[in-house]
Structure 1
Amino acid sequence: MMIQTINALTYYLSEHPAIVGFRWSHTQSWGSTWSFLFTSIAVYLALSSFLHLLLALLLRRGRPVPLGPIPAVHSLMMSVISATIFAGILLSSAAEIRETRWFWRRTKTPFQWLLCFPLGTRPSGRVFFWSYAFYLSRFLHMPRTLFTIFRRRKLAFFQLFYNSILTFMSFLWLEFSQSFQVMAILFTTLVYSVVYGYRFWTGIGLRSACFPFVVNCQMVLLGCNVASHVGVLLLHFLKGGCNGIGAWVFNSVLNGAILLLFLNFYVKMHLRKKMKKDSGVVNATKNKG
């Protein structure tokens, strides 16, 4: 029974004809045009900003809009989707390596293939099917920003920038068959499956961690992405070139901007916590006196 289940999952995640025969096309793949990409991101930014201003004007200060179980259900859905994409691209990568290794086994290792696509790679086949699924899943992440607005928390520029840029980058991965995307998707979906699972856990009222769990997971993800970028750069110059290196350079610049913004956010968050802790100590001392 277990073997049959594993075989069925392997088939539907890496051997199904729709996965094996996938081809990124502006005429056949939904959301694959530049106009759709820029329009959808513009709508996301405009809608988020409009709702933030509207609620600030209409609702009393600090009063949240009740959302019920919607955020928890969304977190559970995103955790399952992320885990599915992770399993799909992992199995698909293993299948691609197994089927093509005879062609390149003297020149590179499987790990090198995960970081550096050979020159001339086209966006078709198993791996790019799951890359396309990851691109589409980016639009399902965007309602998280709306939940933040309805809960009357401050709308952070980093959140808008991060969602917009990652959607844009995932489009570039497909459009230019960019190297690095396999490792990026593996790291991102693994972390997201854990983070959204944690958000579902806390969303249904269970105990949260005693440390900033989500922020630390994001730090780990950014660190893994930086290490992968360094690996692509080394392989490009030492192993004869990686496909889509122009898009990779632009991707690296955007990732660098995300890293700087996140570090700025992380430092400010710790400074606020330290100031609150220090003020609490001072107040306690005054009360004792």
Structure 2
Amino acid sequence: MVLPKRRRVPLGQIPAIHSLCISLISALTFVGILLSSAADIRDTRWFWRRTRTITTPFQWFLCFPLGTRPSGRVFFWSYIFYLSRFLHLLRTFITILRRRKLTFFHLFNQSILLFMSFVWLEFSQSLQVLAILMATLLYSVVYGFRFWKAVGLLSTACFSFVLNCQVVLLGLNLVCHFGVIFLHFLKGGCNGMGAWCFNSVLNGVILCLFLDFYFKRYLRKRTVGDICEHGAGSTSARYLRRSVPEMKSQ
């Protein structure tokens, strides 16, 4: 092997710069698609009366009217979001260079999200605007948090900030999917439902893999020192260390 085993490649400030770039691009995309959506809602309200599918702006975020084409201001920012997914892939290579264990969930999640972003844009899939808004807001916060940690301005938290944010995103995404189903069957149909069904299957796979990763590899296999910083001889630390083997044996 070229590199000695267990030796990490010194990356310097590259991870911090990468996190900062993603945070800024995500914030820009969030603001851009939000303003473009407001403009499109204002300009297309007259069309809603003909379709009778959409009656409120929130329904438009969940369900595109039938016949919607992937063009205009909103889909421009959807394309920007798709391109930004390639920048996200760099984190996978950063993880490899750091000699950390790369999980199947990480690889699958990164590759599938790139493919899903293309499907959203190609088939004018409903729900994509709301999904992009939630995702870019999450990324701007999470990668901003990672940037401040990388430059040493934040100490390690007692809980996994990134995992908790992913749980919130998955929960909101699941709720929005039920809204799309309601509008599609009771309001006359939504655009891009074939792609939406395929997207839902992929989201279900990601959710199952995430739950498997969270419960089996995070809660049961992480040591107490990785979860929260305690003194080596503190009473709480000794108690939690005795509790971890009990969790693994269950």
2:93 counterpart letter in structure 1: L
2:44 is aligned to 100
1:81 is aligned to 25
Aligned mate of 2:7, from 27, 38, 63: 63
SS at match of 2:101: coil
1:47 is aligned to none
| CA offsets 1:226-262 (integer angstroms, 9 cap, x no match) | 1111111111001100000000000000000001001
Distance 1:275 1:205 in 2: 22
Distance 2:95 2:66 in 1: 43
TM-score normalised by L of structure 1: 0.75
2:66 is aligned to 119
TM-score normalised by L of structure 2: 0.86
1:281 counterpart letter in structure 2: R
Query: Cα RMSD over matched residues?
Result: 1.9
Aligned mate of 1:256, from 173, 197, 204: 204
Distance 1:171 1:178 in 2: 10
Aligned mate of 2:170, from 213, 222, 233: 222
Deviation at 1:130, TM superposition (A): 0.4
Deviation at 1:161, TM superposition (A): 0.6
Deviation at 1:279, TM superposition (A): 7.9
1:231 is aligned to 179
Mark the runs of 5 or more structure 2 residues left unpaired by the alignment. 226-236, 244-250
1:242 is aligned to 190
Number of residues of Structure 1 aligned to a counterpart in Structure 2: 227
Q: How does 1:87-236 map to 2 (within 5 A)?
A: 87-104=31-48, 107-206=54-153, 207-236=155-184
Deviation at 1:210, TM superposition (A): 2.0
Query: Which consecutive segments of 4 or more residues in structure 1 shift more than 2 A?
Result: 57-62, 273-282
Distance 1:92 1:279 in 2: 50
1:15 is aligned to none
Distance 1:275 1:200, change over 3 A: closer
Q: How does 1:32-71 map to 2 (within 5 A)?
A: 57-71=1-15
2:229 is aligned to none
Deviation at 1:281, TM superposition (A): 3.4
Distance 2:103 2:200 in 1: 22
1:22 is aligned to none
1:126 counterpart letter in structure 2: R
Deviation at 1:275, TM superposition (A): 7.5
Percent identity, aligned pairs only, is 68
2:228 is aligned to none
Distance 2:124 2:79 in 1: 11
Distance 2:97 2:223 in 1: 28
SS at match of 2:222: helix
Distance 2:241 2:158 in 1: 19
